[in-house]
Amino acid sequence: MAYHFSSKPSLISFILLTFLLFAESTFGSKVVDVNIICKEVQNPSFCSKILNSKPSGAKGADLGSLANYTVEVVFGNITKTIKLIKSLIAHSGKDLEAKSHYEDCLYLFGDESGSLGEIMDTQERLKARDYFGVITSAASVIANIEYCISGEDPQDPPYPDKSKLPQYVRFIEQIVEIILVISKYLTQE
């Protein structure tokens, strides 16, 4: 960066220079087009629908605020999913297989080491601009919730879940995929 001031540095130019240096060191401010981000996920139209639902708009939004927004959406979805799982457990009655399946899922979603905890870590790491950390914790969200659907033992057939849970899980997975792409760009700044 080469800023030259023709006159003797005045207070104004000093302030200006400080501001420019500060702006230069503000990470997360890079703008990447939504279409470029969404080209990299399995379901591009879902991706652009989500990013464009950002209240202040996605056009021209920097990567940091897109990451913030998507993490917020997933946080809300995970909270909602935990409520759903609790109600599925409460309504499983004498169906012990269903009860045990949903209890496993509750553990994978809700426990501190489950996806709720992981998404909170993701938020913290985003704040700290630890983008590799964001990738790690977002990837654990996917790992945890996949176990809920497929079961921890690949030898066992997955539980034939007729509730809304698989649909909720799919939704979360697709948003986390977007977070992973955005974080990849953030690490490249």
Residues within the interface to ligand NAG (CB under 6 A): 28, 62, 64-65, 68, 73, 76-77, 80, 127, 168, 171
Nearer to ligand NAG, 58 or 156 (CB): 58
Shortest CB 155 distance to ligand NAG, Å: 29
Shortest CB 73 distance to ligand NAG, Å: 5
How far is it, in rounded angstroms, from Cα 176 to Cα 75?
Answer: 10
Nearer to ligand NAG, 107 or 171 (CB): 171
Shortest CB 82 distance to ligand NAG, Å: 11
Shortest CB 9 distance to ligand NAG, Å: 31
* DSSP 8-state symbol, 8: P
Check: CB of residue 139 under 8 Å from CB of residue 180. yes
Residue nearest to ligand NAG (CB): 64
Nearer to ligand NAG, 73 or 179 (CB): 73
User: 168 vs 74, 78, 95, CA distance in Å?
Assistant: 10, 9, 22
Q: What is the DSSP string of 106-131?
A: HHHHHSTTSHHHHHHHHHHHHHTT-H
Check: CB of residue 32 under 8 Å from CB of residue 7. no
Shortest CB 77 distance to ligand NAG, Å: 4
Nearer to ligand NAG, 9 or 173 (CB): 173
Shortest CB 157 distance to ligand NAG, Å: 25
How far is it, in rounded angstroms, from Cα 23 to Cα 17?
Answer: 10
Nearer to ligand NAG, 14 or 19 (CB): 19
Nearer to ligand NAG, 4 or 162 (CB): 162
User: 176 vs 2, 29, 170, CA distance in Å?
Assistant: 39, 20, 10
The tokens for 86 are 């609790």
